[in-house]
Structure 1
Amino acid sequence: MRSLIPAALALSMLAAPALAEQVGEFSNDWVGNGVEVEAFPDPGVQGVTCHVAHFSRSLIDRVTKGNWFEDPSNASIACRQTGPLAIGDIETDEEGEDIFGQRLSLVFKSLAVRRIWDQKNQTLIYVVYSKQITEGSAKIAISTVSTFNQDVRKE
């Protein structure tokens, strides 16, 4: 079952706005549940990379607790400038835009990262959150990248 999860995630990411690269993984208990850390570049802002850490359930956990096809919504994010900044054609309204997503279940739940531009403070805001068909989730995390006094190119 554990080998099917990466394949399902890979298929779900084909439709995602950006592709992540796994840069770390570790087990956090004796049954094999783990934390995966992925990095992805912001597709609309060259020079920004976000790292997302999220929980991954083990086969033992899935067998003993059921709910086979779903991972928890818990996630954390950190975004940093990793090169010269170049801002492309990004959404600048207050809703921003989703720039990354991956499924946490077969149908009903996904993890998403939304970028919002704070013009007044010259800051890019990144929010990681869970999207669910039937109900929203209050499990969110936020990271920011300031462009104040930066030599930012427009693309």
Structure 2
Amino acid sequence: MRKILTAALIAAPLLSAAAGAEQVGEVGVDWVGNDILIEAIEDPKVQGVTCHIAYFDRSFFDRITQGNWFEDPSNASIACRQTGPIKIGDIDRGPGGEKVFSESRSLIFKSLKVTRIFDEAHQTLIYLTHATELTEGSAKMSISTVPLYGSE
């Protein structure tokens, strides 16, 4: 049991670190160490677009007192903006879009994802942040759009 708890404590910080995301802010929300983290994510296939995602990061104290050691809430908020000249690469233009970013929110079963959908008729990129779970879907989501005025 002790080895499992030690592994969980070591793995928890690694779950919130994601390739392609840069932490740009951290706001403490209570005395037990729970925080709201803000990360910047540049779209790898659309030059000139940066998304900022805010999400809840549970503290060690919260994990031991509330149980559920291996999981963070699925709640997240997203805002995407043009941060330079926009140049669209080879993106999926289908109605299901394509995954831009994924970050584990539990040891194995839950992920926070950002999906990009191209609304060609309105020349707009739509960014949706949502959670995926192995057995239950989640209705928690947030959306942001970037209009493509005169982009390549």
After TM superposition, the score normalised by the length of structure 1 is 0.89
- Would you say the 8 A contact 2:15–2:103 is kept in 1? no
Matching residue of 1:63 = 64
Matching residue of 1:147 = 148
Q: Which runs of 5+ in 1 are unaligned?
A: none
Matching residue of 1:90 = 91
Question: Could you give the per-residue CA deviations for residues 34-88 of structure 1, whole angstroms, max 9, x where no partner exists?
Answer: 1000001001100000000000001111011100010000000000000001000
What's the C-alpha RMSD, in Å, of the aligned pairs? 1.4
Matching residue of 1:7 = 14
Aligned identity (percent) is 57
Number of aligned residues:
145
Matching residue of 1:112 = 113
Which runs of structure 1 show a deviation greater than 3 angstroms over 4 or more consecutive aligned residues? 1-4
Aligned partner letter, 1:135? E
* Structure 2 Cα separation of the partners of residues 3 and 81 of structure 1: 36
- Would you say the 8 A contact 1:2–1:58 is kept in 2? no
Q: Which runs of 5+ in 2 are unaligned?
A: 1-7
Choose between structure 1 and 2: higher helix proportion. Answer: 2
* Structure 1 Cα separation of the partners of residues 28 and 10 of structure 2: 16
SS in 1 for 2:122: coil
Matching residue of 2:41 = 40
* Structure 1 Cα separation of the partners of residues 145 and 103 of structure 2: 21
Shift in Å at residue 30 of structure 1?
Answer: 1.2
